[in-house]
């Protein structure tokens, strides 16, 4: 089976630090190759894969601001779709724009919908609903107007996350984008009311938000350590008492939630979006609705068994499991190719 894997080009695939879509694209690509599929990765020229790399864009446009996103996205997509006949399936990880190419080719197109940035993009998904295949990354992120062939949860390479049974430190962790959606401000409020140290890590996506709500609170007890790579990530995640995830939106998925649990660290999350699908209340974390409830959950962390956090990821959220689920979908699509999608 020959697969064209179409990655975004905001960051390198896999990303050096931030870049969740590119990270999942890379994990899936490499696992599919292990399973014996022939995968061509369409990504930036700096990208890394054990498969074949097809690239026209020199670097991620978020990493080199001289790169015009519209120009290079156009060239990137054209490079993939002009070679569509070489592949059995094109797997789109790029969002909605590739859908507009789908009726120009005969190769089936499957799109992993990583989330909806706004209702404004739905008309594109609706237009091609009966022509392409959609996969949701959680049941919570499904839109009633669209048809889905499956839900496939994101997976991580569990071997790259070290389980720590007994944390050597006494801090809470915020690990994610600094943006209102992710609840960094709320994490500070929780830590202060729980009288706990808070370490904060991640990319500053909204500088005004960071300067207004985060920076004035930084001191010895509230520390911002920037972005963290894989080695530092394991230590920071694994030694935390808990990951605070007080999100302000219906999050489609939460990679940081899975990564924390892989290290044995429970999660205190606001009960929104996909959170009930990722963790079980009072088993590998706590699902809460308010800051007050989150503070109360901090005092109950000692009641949790950290082995259950790791087990949850091993059982449900590995890159190997993710790849096997997608292979089933590819096989189903190829069987349906001449029957279902003719217009």
CATH of domain 159-316: 3.40.50.2000
Say if residue 267's pLDDT is above 70. Answer: yes
What is the CATH architecture of 2-155+318-336?
3-Layer(aba) Sandwich (3.40)
All structural domains of the chain with their residue ranges = 2-155+318-336, 159-316
**Both tokens of residue 36?**
């014996």
Positive or negative, the Cα torsion across 282, 285, 289, 293?
A: positive
Q: Give per-residue pLDDT as tens, 301-315.
A: 999 999 999 999 999
CA 293/CA 175 separation, integer angstroms: 20
pTM, 2 dp: 0.92
Provide DSSP, 261-325: HHTT--EEEES-TTHHHH--BTTTEEEESSHHHHHHHHTTGGGS-HHHHHHHHHHH-BHHHHHHH
Give the least confident one: 12-16, 321-325, 336-340: 336-340
Q: How many CB atoms lie within 10 A of CB 87?
A: 20
pLDDT in tens, 37-62: 999 999 999 999 999 999 999 999 99
CB 107 within 8 A of CB 86: no
Residue from 153, 120, 136 nearest 317 by CA:
153
- Of all residues in the chain, what percent carry a pLDDT higher than 90? 91
Tokens representing 160 are 């790259």
Phi, psi dihedrals of residue 3, rounded to the nearest 5°: -115, 130
Tokens representing residue 54 in the block: 């097809």
Q: Tokens 């190419």 appear where?
A: 101
**Helix locations, 51-170, DSSP H:** 69-81, 122-127
The alpha carbon of 213 is separated from its chain's Cα centroid by a whole number of angstroms, namely 25
- pLDDT tens-digit series, residues 89-106: 999 999 999 999 999 999
Cα–Cα nearest to 270, from 290, 252, 285: 290
pLDDT at residue 338 in the model: 53
Say if CB 328 and CB 308 are below 8 A apart: no
Q: Tens digit of pLDDT for each residue in 215-253?
A: 999 999 999 999 987 778 899 999 999 999 999 999 999
Residue 207 has a pLDDT of 96
341 — pLDDT class (breaks 50, 70, 90): very low
- How high is the mean pLDDT of the chain? 95
Which helix (H) or strand (E) covers residue 336, if one does?
helix 319-336
pLDDT band of residue 117 (cuts 50, 70, 90) is: confident
On the question of pLDDT at 278 being above 90, the answer is yes
Question: Do 159-316 and 2-155+318-336 have the same topology in CATH?
Answer: yes
């Amino acid at each position: 089976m020959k697969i064209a894997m179409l990655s975004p080009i905001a960051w390198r695939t896999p990303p050096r630090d931030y870049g969740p879509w590119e990270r999942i694209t890379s994990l899936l690509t490499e696992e599919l190759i292990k399973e014996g599929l022939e995968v061509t990765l369409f990504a930036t020229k700096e990208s890394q894969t054990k498969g074949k790399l097809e690239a026209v864009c020199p670097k991620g446009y978020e990493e080199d601001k001289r790169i015009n996103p519209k120009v290079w996205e156009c060239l990137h997509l054209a490079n993939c779709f002009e070679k569509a006949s070489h592949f059995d399936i094109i797997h789109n990880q790029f969002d909605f724009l590739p859908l507009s190419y789908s009726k120009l080719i005969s190769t089936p197109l499957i799109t992993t919908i990583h989330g909806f940035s706004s209702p404004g993009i739905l008309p594109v998904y609706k237009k091609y609903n009966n022509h392409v295949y959609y996969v949701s990354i959680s049941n919570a992120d499904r839109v009633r107007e669209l048809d889905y062939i499956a839900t496939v949860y994101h997976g991580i390479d569990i071997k790259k996350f070290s389980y720590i049974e007994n944390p050597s430190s006494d801090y809470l962790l915020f690990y994610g984008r600094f943006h209102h959606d992710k609840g960094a401000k709320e994490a500070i409020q929780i830590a202060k009311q729980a009288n706990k140290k808070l370490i904060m890590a991640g990319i500053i996506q909204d500088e005004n938000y960071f300067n207004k709500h985060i920076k004035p609170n930084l001191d010895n007890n509230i520390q911002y350590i920037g972005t963290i790579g894989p080695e530092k990530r394991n230590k920071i995640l694994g030694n935390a008492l808990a990951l605070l995830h007080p999100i302000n939106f219906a999050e489609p998925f939460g990679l940081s939630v899975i990564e924390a649990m892989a290290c044995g660290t429970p999660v205190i999350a606001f009960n929104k979006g996909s959170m009930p699908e990722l963790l079980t209340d009072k088993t590998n974390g706590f699902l809460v609705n308010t800051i007050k409830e989150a503070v109360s959950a901090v005092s109950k962390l000692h009641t949790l068994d950290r082995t259950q956090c790791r087990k949850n990821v091993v059982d449900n959220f590995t890159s190997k499991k993710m790849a096997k689920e997608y292979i089933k979908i590819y096989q189903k699509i190829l069987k349906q190719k001449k029957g279902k999608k003719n217009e």
